[in-house]
């Protein structure tokens, strides 16, 4: 059994009859009173994020997890098919546990987090950013840049991203999988 002093980002634990991962934490030692840990926890089954405060020394039940790299093969309904590169074993992941399924394209790699005791997939994480090709966007107008102007663009996976006016069809852009925002244009 671990205590609240062991809390760090990415830690998985059993809490409120579910499995949660720590998104943010802050150890607080006020001038008066006991220390505590303020956390943001994400439920791995439904994706809801909650705030919780643990008192110092509070016992937590840590879940042992394993992270494995898998390659995305194809989508069938709401189920995504992935393959382990070492064993060639396929696993099927529900769309609900993938952090940014709209940016996933065939051949991409993702990290799947498994409950080590039950061999059950808990979460599928794409890299922090992906490079995607713009397949459609309206042409930008010259002189229409009084402020940071953005326009909608469709990328090769079918997702829509807001991009600057100078981005054209065929350009490759880096997109953040955390919030779906444009990062930069990339030379390929």
Given this model, what pLDDT does residue 50 score?
92
CATH code of the domain occupying 65-125:
2.40.50.140
> In sequence order, which residues have a C-beta less than 8 Å from that of residue 87 and are 6 or more positions away?
none
Q: Report the distance separating Cα 175 and Cα 125, nearest Å.
A: 15
Range list of H helices, the chain? none
Count the alpha carbons within 13 Å of 113 in the hemisphere toward its beta carbon: 19
Domain residue ranges in the chain = 2-62, 65-125, 129-186
Pairing of strands 109-115, 49-55: unpaired
Given this model, what pLDDT does residue 4 score?
83
Given this model, what pLDDT does residue 143 score?
62
Choosing among 3.90.230.10, 2.40.50.140, 2.60.120.10, 2.40.400.10, the CATH entry for 129-186 is 2.40.50.140
In the numeric block, the tokens 């991203």 are attached to 161
Given this model, what pLDDT does residue 53 score?
92
- Secondary structure of 96-121 in the HEC alphabet? HHECCHHHCCCCCEEEEEEECCCCEE
Spans in the chain with pLDDT lower than 50:
none
Calculate Rg over the CA atoms of the chain: 21
Q: Report pLDDT digits (tens) over 101-113.
A: 899 989 999 998 8
Query: In this structure, how many other beta carbons lie within 10 angstroms of the beta carbon of residue 151?
Result: 17
Q: Report pLDDT digits (tens) over 4-43.
A: 888 888 888 988 888 888 989 999 888 888 899 999 998 8
Choosing among 1.10.20.60, 1.10.3470.10, 2.60.120.260, 2.30.30.30, the CATH entry for 2-62 is 2.30.30.30
Pairing of strands 2-3, 160-164: unpaired
């Amino acid at each position: 059994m671990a205590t609240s002093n062991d809390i760090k980002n990415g830690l998985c634990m059993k809490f409120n009859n579910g499995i949660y991962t720590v998104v943010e934490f802050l150890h607080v030692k006020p001038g008066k009173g006991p220390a505590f840990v303020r956390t943001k926890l994400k439920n791995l089954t439904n994706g809801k994020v909650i705030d919780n405060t643990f008192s110092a020394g509070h016992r937590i039940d840590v879940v042992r997890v394993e992270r494995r790299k898998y390659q995305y093969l194809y989508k069938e309904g709401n189920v995504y098919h992935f393959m382990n590169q070492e064993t060639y074993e396929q696993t099927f992941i529900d769309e609900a546990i993938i952090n940014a399924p709209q940016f996933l394209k065939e051949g991409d790699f993702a990290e799947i987090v498994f409950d080590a005791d039950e061999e059950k997939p808990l979460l599928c994480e794409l890299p922090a950013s992906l490079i995607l090709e713009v397949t459609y966007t309206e042409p930008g107008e010259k002189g229409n840049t009084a402020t940071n102007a953005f326009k909608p663009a469709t990328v090769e996976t079918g997702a829509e991203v807001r991009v600057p006016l100078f981005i054209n069809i065929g350009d490759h852009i880096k997109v953040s999988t955390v919030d779906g925002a444009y990062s930069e244009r990339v030379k390929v």
